[in-house]
Structures are given as structure tokens and as C-alpha cells.
Amino acid sequence: NAGVMQNPRHLVRRRGQEARLRCSPMKGHSHVYWYRQLPEEGLKFMVYLQKENIIDESGMPKERFSAEFPKEGPSILRIQQVVRGDSAAYFCASSPDKGGELFFGEGSRLTVL
Amino acid sequence: LAKTTQPISMDSYEGQEVNITCSHNNIATNDYITWYQQFPSQGPRFIIQGYKTKVTNEVASLFIPADRKSSTLSLPRVSLSDTAVYYCLVGDLIQGAQKLVFGQGTRLTINP
């Protein structure tokens, strides 16, 4: 049973470009969470999704950031018009149920030049 | 959301028992206590979870006093590979795992 798969592992973008981060949850998991981690800091919750629905996006910046979890395919975190402050590690986690154990991926490290 | 306070860093030696204490003075009735471990350049990994008294699994033990205002993660006979950041999280899991808030964690360093 493969774990949570994130890609790309590393992504470099110039200011103003778009970044797309993908997350495939563990098999059988329908709950997906995205977190952002700055160096030497803890993870900050961004958004919680179930298939085709955003359940909680209270941690998501109001502009430039969006997330989806379509019926088919991976969850996508999209950052438009990236700025240097978006440079961080973005982690995806999945769980089999609402309050269950979170299984994290290896993260996607975004660097904005 | 219940705020947690834990030491920024700790040092120990191989073979020792390590206890990391977390304070959560305003924990709510429905809140659970969960600990995660994170190695450099990796995502966090679940260690243990509890509501009250003591919970033990193959990796660690979690001690929670009656007032639940603190908890202690106990790692028996640590090895070098236990060097990691340990996060204490408190939240109402009925509302969803996203209610668990990651703080700065405790950076544990195990020395030979």
C-alpha cells in the first residue's frame, strides 16, 4: 500500500509564475489536508478537502491560492503569481476518516526566485 | 483552539529514557492529545494519541494526568535515529484532524 505521494518534490519558480503541487492520498483515504512549513517552524494548516468538496479552507490565503480534490485524480494546490514569501515546504496528508491519524507525504519544496 | 507549550529543544544519550512534557492549560472537554514526529526533509509521522490516563504502543507511552492540563511523551531507550522534532497537538477530533495545531515542537537530539 503506497503512502501519500506528492510531486514534484522540488519546484523552482520565478516571481509571477504559477506553481501546481499534486498529492495522491493513500489508497482508501478520502480526506486530504494541505499544510505549509517555513524553515524552523511548525506546520500551518491550509485546507481540508474531501472528494470534490472543500471542507475547511480557514488557513488558506484569500488570494492567489486554491485547492481542489477532483473525483478522479490527485488533489492539487495551486499558487498563482508566486512571490518570494511563498517559498516553503508544502505537505499533504490524508486520513481514512474525519478525525483519524494523518499520513503525510514527503512534501513539495517550492523555491521562488 | 487549545494552545500548547513544549520545550524548544532537548538533548539526551543513546539508551536513555526521554520524557517530553507539553502544557495545554486550556484544553477543552472534547480535545484529544496527539504527538507527531518529524525528521528533516520529511513529513510528520503519527506517534501516539490519548484522551486521559496512560496510553502505550510499540513506540512510546503517553501519560496524561487527571486534570489533562499537561501530557508527557515517554520514549524508552532512545537511539540516534530518534533525533527529530516532536510535536504535541491538542484538538477536537470530532470536528476533524485539521483542528490539530502544530506548534514549533521540541527538537530532540540524541547523542552517542
Name the residue in chain A with its Cα closest to that of B41.
Answer: A106
Nearest CA in chain A to B32: A99
pLDDT confidence tier of residue A103, bands split at 50, 70 and 90? very high
Give the model's pLDDT for residue A99: 78
Q: Which of B41, B46, B104 sits opposite A101 (nearest CB)?
A: B46
Residues of A with CB under 8 A from a CB of B: 4, 31, 33, 35, 40-45, 48, 55-56, 59, 91, 93, 95, 98-107
Mean confidence (pLDDT) of chain B: 92
Answer whether B43 touches A (CB < 8 Å).
yes
Query: pLDDT tens digits, residue range A6-49?
Result: 999 999 999 999 999 999 999 989 999 999 998 878 899 999 99
What's the pLDDT at A40?
A: 79
Q: CA A99, CA A76: separation in Å to the nearest integer?
A: 22
**Model pLDDT, residue A41:** 83
Cross-strand bridge partners of residue B109: B11
What confidence score (pLDDT) does residue B1 get? 55
Element spanning B35, H or E: strand B32-38
Q: With a CB-CB cutoff of 8 Å, which residues 77-106 of chain B face chain A?
A: 87, 93-98, 100-105
Q: Do B98 and A104 touch (CB under 8 A)?
A: no
Alpha carbon separation from B14 to A90, B63, B77 (Å, rounded): 32, 22, 7
Partner-chain contact A100 B97, CB within 8 Å: yes
| pLDDT at residue B4 tops 60 | yes
E-strand spans in chain A? 5-7, 10-13, 19-24, 31-37, 43-50, 53-56, 65-68, 75-79, 88-95, 103-104, 108-112
Mark yes or no for CB contact B98/A42 under 8 Å: no
- The C-alpha angle A88, A94, A98, rounded to 5 degrees, equals 125
Number of A–B residue contacts, CB under 8 Å:
65
pLDDT of residue A42: 85
pLDDT tens for residues B13-47? 999 999 999 999 999 998 999 999 999 989 999 99
pLDDT tens-place string over residues A46-78: 999 998 899 999 999 999 999 999 988 999 999
Closest Cα of chain A to B76: distance in Å?
A: 22
